[in-house]
Every structure is written in C-alpha cells, then in structure tokens.
C-alpha cells in the first residue's frame, strides 16, 4: 500500500507517495528525478547507488525509503553550491577520475563521508573506506589521487 512519506533530501523537505519497502534509490531516481545515484548491482555490492543518510554512506539500493524517513538524505545533486563544484567533484574532474563516469557519484559520496569524518586520511585509510565502491573502468589510481588531493592541505 502506498503512503505519503516525508523526506528531507539535500536540505529540502519533500513528500512522496510510495510503498515504504521500495528501495530509496528507486524513489530518488523515479519519483524525485535525482538520477545521480546509479543502479549497478542492486545488491549492496558495488557502491554505484551510494548516498548519505545523516552523513553516513549507505547503499540506497538496499535501503528502504521508509528507513530514510526522518533522516537527512544527501545525494550528489546537493553537493555543489550554485555553479561551483564541491572540492571533491572538482578534484575528480582535475584528476580525470571519471572514465565512463557511472561509478563516480557513488565514489564521491563515499569520499565525502570519509573526509567529513577524517579530513586528513592516510592512503591506507582512503583505500579502506573506498573499498566497497567498484569501478568497472578500473580507474582506481585516478580516483585515489583525486581524493588525496581533496584531502591535502591547501
Ligand atoms: S547498486 Fe547499490 S550497491 Fe550496487
Ligand atoms: S569510471 Fe567507469 S565505472 Fe568507474
């Protein structure tokens, strides 16, 4: 049965009519038009669908929309300010960290969660935090370089 669910997405209050058991990813993409988070495996294994819930990186393909009620949902669309990219988005551009780009929104959201928690992570800490975000283009060296650059003192 569908019900009206109130969500906070990228700082805005929105309401959707949805079955509470639907995947959050589905509601973000199909109901709210936020297509940044991607469908990859649909099983919580690849990270393409990563968004933040109260600041923590979660796999939105295996998170129900009901579980996101009352939490702050952040997607890649909410990161930049106007025309200005978020520093991690800019670092991904500058380091060529997108090939096909499919994994990139999820990579960036995981990296955002990491750097908020640990502004100066070691390389080992970055690798550990990003371990669940797969890149089928195997662009890992550039992704790592982008995150290290974003984390480095300016
Ligand atoms: S699509 Fe969600 S983890 Fe792969
Ligand atoms: S850039 Fe293609 S999957 Fe990562």
- Residue with more model confidence, 40 or 154: 40
**pLDDT grade, residue 61 (50/70/90)?**
very high
Sign of CA dihedral 145, 39, 42, 81: positive
Q: Which two tokens stand for residue 126?
A: 């970055």
Phi then psi for residue 64, to 5 deg, are -80, 155
Is 139 touching ligand 2 by the criterion CB < 6 Å?
Answer: yes
Neighbour tally for 150: CB within 10 Å? 23
CA distance linking residue 141 with residue 90, whole number of Å: 16
69 CA to centre of ligand 2 in angstroms = 30
Q: What is the pTM of this model?
A: 0.97
Q: Is the pLDDT of residue 146 over 90?
A: yes
47 CA to centre of ligand 1 in angstroms = 5
114 CA to centre of ligand 1 in angstroms = 18
For the chain, list the domains and their CATH numbers.
3-78 (3.10.20.30), 87-151 (1.10.150.120)
Mean pLDDT of 1-26: 97
Is 103 touching ligand 2 by the criterion CB < 6 Å?
Answer: yes
**Kind of pairing, strands 50-53 and 3-9?**
unpaired
Closest listed ligand to the CA of 45: 1
25 CA to centre of ligand 1 in angstroms = 9
Tens digits of per-residue pLDDT, 83-131? 899 999 999 999 999 999 999 999 999 999 999 999 999 999 999 999 9
Is 99 touching ligand 2 by the criterion CB < 6 Å?
Answer: yes
Q: Which of 29, 47, 109, 132 to mutate to test the pocket of ligand 1 (most atoms within 8 A of CB)?
A: 47
**pLDDT grade, residue 74 (50/70/90)?**
very high
Q: Considering the chain, what is the average pLDDT of its residues?
A: 97
């Amino acid at each position: 049965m569908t019900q009206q669910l109130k969500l906070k997405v990228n700082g805005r209050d929105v309401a959707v009519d949805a079955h509470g058991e639907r995947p959050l990813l589905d509601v973000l993409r199909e109901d709210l038009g936020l297509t940044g988070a991607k469908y990859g495996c649909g099983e919580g294994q690849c990270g393409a669908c990563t968004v933040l819930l109260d600041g923590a990186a979660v796999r939105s393909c295996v998170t129900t929309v009901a579980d996101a009620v009352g939490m702050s949902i952040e997607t890649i669309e909410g990161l930049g300010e106007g025309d200005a990219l978020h520093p991690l988005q800019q670092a991904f551009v500058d380091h060529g960290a997108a090939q096909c780009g499919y994994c990139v929104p999820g990579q960036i959201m995981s990296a955002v969660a990491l750097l908020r928690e640990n502004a100066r992570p070691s390389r080992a800490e970055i690798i550990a935090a990003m371990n669940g975000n797969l890149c089928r283009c195997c662009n890992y060296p550039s992704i790592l370089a982008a995150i290290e650059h974003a984390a480095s003192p300016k």
